[in-house]
Amino acid sequence: MKDDPNPPPSPAAPAATTPPLDLSELRSLDDTIEHFIGNFGLKQLIQSVLLSFAWFFDAQQTFISVFADAKPEWICNDHFSSTTCNSTANICRLPKESWLWNSPVHASIVSDWSLECAGPVITALPSSSFFLGCLVGGFVLATLSDSYFGRKNTLVLSTLIMSVSGLLTAASTNVWMYVGLRFVSGFGRSSVGICALVHASELVGEKWRQKVGVFGFLFYSFGFLSLPLIAFLIRGSSWRFMYIWTCSPCVLYSLQEIL
């Protein structure tokens, strides 16, 4: 019997069926992160504390002008005979020889650069310049942290800009140089807090993020409280030492983050 040249088609094998997707087995982004880095451990605690410590330097540079830019008290010069010099007199209308600063001349930029009669616009310009720098840096550095550099690199860049410009501020020779460097310092400071907070929170599990976020605010408070202590320790010294004492550790902090 000859083979049929057109044999009947064999029955098709049943198609492989894909099992239904169990949505309960899908991991969320937070669950995936916790699966690989863990929820919370000693290493994560140390890293979070180190990152949050950047807030300490942030507070120092934000409030340092309270001491460096303060207008010192003045007293009448007992060796100069004048009936017009008294505690209620306008210092700008008195002869220069009739009054003295009640603290060393170099204790503040006001007395160091004779800005007592420059007017409120000039004396308030350094602080205004600092916060204007914060405004500009908030746009620029926030964009870099979200797109090109990432949180950690932006944090290192910010602390470096803030600390190096602070050290250069200590070498200012006039109020205009001082104003410009305060702008640069504010520019760098603008993203320190947010980068440190977000990056520290990303290192731990979801339920620990609020607790880790508290570290930054604690260090910010400690940074603010450290300024009166530093001012007390260097009382009688130049305002420039305030910047040196606060910015030198910040430079070292930035370098250790790089290494």
Q: 161-173 pLDDT, tens per residue?
A: 999 999 999 999 9
Residue range 80-100, pLDDT digits in tens: 656 677 777 788 888 888 888
In order of their start, the domains of the chain are 39-71+108-258 (1.20.1250.20), 73-103 (no CATH)
Please report, rounded to a whole number, the percentage of residues in the chain having pLDDT higher than 70.
83
Close Cβ partners of 199 (under 8 Å, ≥ 6 residues apart): 51, 151, 152, 155
> Chain-wide mean pLDDT for the chain?
87
Q: What is the mean pLDDT of residues 219-230?
A: 97
Instruction: Enter the pTM of the model.
Output: 0.83
Lowest mean pLDDT among 84-88, 149-153, 212-216: 84-88
- pLDDT value at position 248? 97
> Band of the pLDDT at 240, cuts 50, 70, 90?
very high
What is the SS3 assignment for 183? helix
- Does residue 5 have a pLDDT over 70? no
State which amino acid sits at residue 171: A
- pLDDT value at position 77? 80
> Band of the pLDDT at 78, cuts 50, 70, 90?
confident
How many Å from the N-terminal Cα to the C-terminal Cα in the chain?
86
- Does residue 14 have a pLDDT over 70? no
- Nearest one of 212, 185, 180, 207 to 196, comparing CA atoms: 212
Q: Give how far the C-alpha of residue 18 lies from the chain's centroid of Cα atoms, to the nearest Å.
A: 53
Q: How far apart are CA 194 and CA 38, in angstroms?
A: 23
In the numeric block, which tokens belong to residue 86?
């008294």
The H or E element containing residue 32 is helix 29-37
Contact 194, 144 (CB under 8 A): no
In the numeric block, which tokens belong to residue 253?
């902090």
Residue range 25-53, pLDDT digits in tens: 566 666 666 666 666 788 888 999 999 99
Q: How far apart are CA 101 and CA 104, in angstroms?
A: 7
- Nearest one of 231, 223, 251, 236 to 166, comparing CA atoms: 251
